[in-house]
Structure 1
Amino acid sequence: MKSELRSVLVPGPLIVGAGPSGLATAACLKEKGVPSLILERENCIASLWKLKMYDRLNVHLPRKFCELPHMKLPPEFPAFPTRLQYISYLDAYAKHFSIEPMFGEEVRQAKYDSTTGFWTVQILRYKFFCRWLIVATGENAEPLLPEIPGISNFQGGYLHSSLYKNGADFKGERILVIGCGNSGMEISLDLCNNGAQPFVVVRDKLHILPREILGRSTFGLSMFLLKWLPLRIVDRFLVLSSWLILGDIQQFGLRRPEIGPLELKKTTGKTPVLDVGTSAKIKTGQIKVVPGIRRITDRGAEFVNGGAAEFDSVILATGYRSTVPSWLKEEEFFNKHNGYPKTQFPNCWKGKNGLYSVGFTKLGLAGASIDAKRVAEDIAWQWKSDTRQMHFEYHMATRIDPRQQAP
């Protein structure tokens, strides 16, 4: 017999996603006296960091750009904290603000009812009603697995980068890495350092920048220069600095786009690669650059330039995608094709009818923190402007706390 969904009125905002974006939003709301409820489909906070990241990962941006609101990173952490260090920070952050999500609860549907003025958010056992819905599932909710001709016939092993941990299991193998973003380049370096022979597919032009320039982080220096100089001038400085520090990398199959790295990021969202040692391995031939793939064969790959090679394994460093269109029944604020807000930063955080987004700025953790503060301020103003109604809703909602219900 089909069990009936239990209805629960949420006193404050309902947040979908317990990654850094959801945690930052909940903390900012709590600082303003607004309660919230977080739904998380995995069984832990920050599941991307804990379950889907490779071991050697360090945060790509300096520590000050990775701090969440109202709590700094420990002073003993290095300029670019490791994955495990950042996970420990997120755990401490959740504990400090007493953030307790409902784990293992995937949202099946969320839609707005104009007659009641409430959002209805449905999970397996409950149907929640809330005045504010905050989408904090982020840009990297689910691995992106593109259709590659012939991949199903490949006799070796292949996996998405979300399942890759380290290169120890690939020692002595020839590995084809499909994807030349930061993940693809770092995984290639990790494979090389563990005795494998990586071949990285570079289909399009890309910018590779040093992680630091003149002793300062490239990102931090760029943000400083943009306060005083036009974007095109800063772009020229970055390209020149990259050439002086990394040398001429075009002869190794790494062609630069005509448009500068910051302008490219602004117009297309494509992030430049921050070099952590991969370019040096490419110059020495320890990491091979190959062109785009025409098709995968049973033992290797054929390339668009007519060449072919055999490989033991294929790693798909092809990124992630948003899953918002699969459950959010709304088409005005979020794009149903890519799952991003239709408006760009800095105006991508607020929709209509109490709908918000955090973590879709294409500016990483720094962008998520900016949005979290804006969302909290906006909701807190509404919360305090109608005290009588809020007290009634809070009284009704706290009669049932689904986090304390037995399965």
Structure 2
Amino acid sequence: MATDPFPQRLPTLDRLGVTDPSNVSPSEVATEWLNAFSAAITQSDTAAVIDLFLEDGFWKDVIALTWDFRTFEGSKDIKKLLDARLVATGLHELCLLREPLNEPVLQKVYHDFVWVRLCFGFTTKHGKGTGVVYLVPLPDSKWKAYTLFTCLDALTDFPQKIGPLRNKEADHGGWEEKRRQEIEFSNNDPTVLVIGAGHSGLETAARLKYIGIPTLVIDKKPRVGDSWRDRYKALCLHDTIWYNQTPYLNFPPTWPMYTPAAKLADWLEGYAKFLELDVWTASTITKTSWNDSTKTWTVEVNRGGEGTRVLTVKHLVFATGSGGRPKFPDIPGKGSFKGSAVHSSEFKSAADHIGKKAIVVGSCNSAHDIAQDFCNHGVDITMYQRSSTFVISTQSVAAMLGAVYKDDFPSELADTYNTSLPWAVVRRLHQRMVPMVAESVDKDILDGLAKVGFKTNFGIHGAGIMSLFLERGGGYYIDTGASKSIIDGAIKIKNGSAIESFTENGLRFADGTELQADVIVFATGYGDPRDFMREVCGDEVASKITKVWGMDEEGQSAGVWRYCGHDGLWFANGNLALSRFHSLHLAMQIKAIEEGILNKADVVI
């Protein structure tokens, strides 16, 4: 097994050499630390700032000091950040936030691990932001920062046109014609072209629109939301409504806790309409070229039955999903199979296969959903498990998310808290939490699966679902009921032997066994997120792009919502929560570039 780059070394009470500090006043601890921090920042006293951190502490930044997504670990790297960017960014006006939802609080994370969490506001030369600090106790009754997070929330001179800044002009006629011209870009070209009208593309377009950047979204499908509408009918979000809110427009309070895909598709269609986003559907890019002198793209768009349009834009944003092309294993003998073999992206409903035998190849979310769909329709179904799977109950996921994502808690603040910890720390916390959950809430499920031969694991380096999602984009199942069907034998399991070939009537395995089937669904995932970009922009542009998705060496998402190696090209990928939060940061980076306040040199440290 690969060496864990973030080994378990939390600053526990034992390691720090202190006893339980539960009698302290979080407000007093936070005030004393922030006063010292603010004084050191004001005086540009780097040594004094660093002395307020543990030697192996962290500073995580989202475009506030670095115009990038960066994490600096240890005194040496934090000094590097401060030397390069403290004076340049003009960090000042640090103010402790004391509202009920973000007041300082003492949190007992584990029995031997506590911290004081505090929030502060700050100002830079170009904007305002929020900071989150996690302080741990030392033997001399002092507290030092284990992690500090700085995040830019708004550009001072270019705020979002919402709330008090909304358009206040009354429209006394002509709105429809005005909207038609806006959508068609009759008198101008957009500054940004977003490719993909799913949730990431629409949320990015909304952020750009309301920060003053003309933006066009194009999608190859006939309707907005079809990227969700056209998937298998049993698809339903596996995480809670509070985690999946959309910016500027929340789901109504009647919305179900777990949203069906078709319902989300309709919501996105309404979202685009109500926020007046400019979208061309049934449209594809047929040609692109990049002019490095003018820093512009020339893009030819085929609008289906409405002809071709050539646009000159400054930025392309690929919002085409976290995966690339569907991955279909190369298995000999496919031509001899008399039944139907499809990728999960093409599968619609088990209702089309009643009375038949089915195999699902794969054992993660989509595979379980589809297998349960077959089971619900009385179809003889076998799941072929190629490798072990991390399984966690919806109850456990809801409890994890519920620490910050809940009713009557602003999603903006929840997103800030959720992003505030460096990935190295999150991983260490989850390495302790995952086995605890497995031995308590999820014990019956995991024990039952083990008895019927379904193989489970604890995720990459034992860090569970978050490591699998952020590093691999898959490899897990959030149990919505299929685990019980597997335990009860309603969904049969085959594993432990590789697929050797198709046969006329199913699949043959290396152990000599054969499974018969009329339909085989390959829930085998998707390729590289750069696949679509390569098709649109060509190999020369693609060769300059960094890794997209997964983690970089600092534990930040690679190439997504940030500079990816090529000017004027961005990726907007992720679930609804990531898209909601980081779409704003992508929009602010583009706005800063367009207004001349962000240069590429500013993101290099």
Please report the TM-score for the alignment, with normalisation by the length of structure 2. Answer: 0.57
Distance of aligned partners of 1:34 and 1:277 in 2 relative to their CA distance in 1, 3 Å threshold: same
The correspondence for 2:200, drawn from 5, 11, 21, is 21
Residue of structure 2 equivalent to 1:216: 398
Counterpart contact for 1:23–1:99, Cα < 8 Å: yes
Identity %: 25
Structure 1 CA distance, aligned partners of 2:301 and 2:549?
Answer: 22
Identify the match of residue 244 of structure 2 among 60, 66, 80: 66
Q: 1:31 aligns with which of 201, 204, 210?
A: 210
CA contact (8 A) 2:204 2:583 kept: yes
User: 1:353 and 2:567 equivalent?
Assistant: yes
Q: 2:317 aligns with which of 125, 128, 134?
A: 134
SS of 1:99's partner is coil
285, 288, 296: which one pairs with 2:489? 285
Letter in 1 for 2:389: L
Paired residue type of 1:372: S
TM-superposed CA distance for 1:176, in Å, is 0.8
Q: What's the Cα RMSD here?
A: 2.9
Q: How does 1:138-287 map to 2 (within 5 A)?
A: 138-140=321-323, 142-213=325-396, 216-220=398-402, 230-241=429-440, 243-248=442-447, 249-257=449-457, 259-260=461-462, 261=464, 262-287=466-491
Residue equivalent to 2:233: 55
Structure 2 counterparts to residues 315-330 of structure 1, below 5 A: 315-321=521-527, 322=529, 323-329=532-538, 330=541
Which contiguous aligned blocks of 4+ residues in structure 1 show a shift greater than 6 angstroms? 222-229
Query: Matched residues in 2 for 1:83 and 1:48: separation?
Result: 9
Q: In terms of mean alpha carbon deviation, does 256-265 or 203-212 score higher? A: 256-265
Q: Does the 8 Å CA contact 2:551/2:557 hold for their aligned counterparts? A: no
Cα gap change, 1:101 to 1:264, in 2 (>3 Å): closer
Cα distance in 2 for partners of 1:105, 1:271 equals 33
The one-letter code sitting in structure 2 at the alignment partner of 1:320 is: Y
Q: 1:145 to 1:108 in 2, by over 3 A?
A: farther
Name 2:292's counterpart in structure 1.
114
Contact 2:381–2:491, Cα closer than 8 Å, also in 1: yes
Whether contact under 8 Å (1:235, 1:263) holds in the other structure is no
- Which amino acid in 1 is paired with 2:398? R
Determine the C-alpha separation between the residues in 2 that align with 1:254 and 1:221: 30
- Per-residue deviation, 1:209: 0.8
Instruction: Using structure 1 for the length normalisation, give the TM-score.
Output: 0.83
Q: CA deviation at 1:271?
A: 4.0
Distance 2:347 2:399 in 1: 27
CA distance in 1, matches of 2:291, 2:255: 47
Task: Give the conservation status (yes or no) of the 8 Å contact 2:285–2:300.
Answer: yes
* Separation in structure 2 between the aligned mates of residue 120 and residue 219 of structure 1, nearest angstrom: 43
Alignment size in residue pairs: 373
Higher deviation after alignment, 157-166 or 198-207: 157-166
Alpha-carbon shift at residue 39 of structure 1 (Å) = 1.8
Asked if the contact 2:218/2:284 (under 8 Å) is kept, the reply is yes
Q: Choose 320-329 or 271-280, whichever is displaced more.
A: 320-329
C-alpha distance 47-176 of structure 1, shift in aligned 2 (>3 A): same
Runs of 5+ consecutive residues of structure 2 not aligned to the other structure: 1-185, 303-307, 406-416, 598-605
The amino acid across from 2:504 in the alignment is D
CA distance in 2, matches of 1:384, 1:47: 35
Q: Tell me the distance in 2 between the aligned counterparts of 1:282 and 1:373.
A: 42
Relative contact order, higher structure (CA 8 A, sep 6+): 1
**Contact 2:191-2:313 at 8 Å conserved across structures:** yes
Say whether 1:44 aligns with 2:226: no
Distance 1:42 1:279 in 2: 34
Letter in 1 for 2:561: W
Name the structure 1 match of 2:282. Answer: 104
- CA displacement at 1:309 relative to structure 2: 2.2
What residue is the counterpart of 2:578 in the other structure?
367
Tell me if the contact between 1:209 and 1:242 (Cα under 8 Å) persists in the aligned partners.
no
Post-superposition shift, 1:333? 5.2
Amino acid at match of 1:270: G
Q: What letter corresponds to residue 252 of structure 1 in structure 2?
A: V
SS at match of 1:42: coil
Deviations 1:298-329 (CA, angstroms, capped at 9, x unpaired): 11111233321221211122233442221123
**What displacement does 1:381 show?**
2.7
Counterpart contact for 1:325–1:339, Cα < 8 Å: no
Q: Does the C-alpha gap of structure 1 residues 217 and 88 become closer, same or farther in structure 2, counting only changes over 3 Å?
A: farther
Q: Unaligned regions of 5+ residues in structure 1, if any?
A: 1-6, 387-407
The AA in structure 1 aligned to 2:477 is V
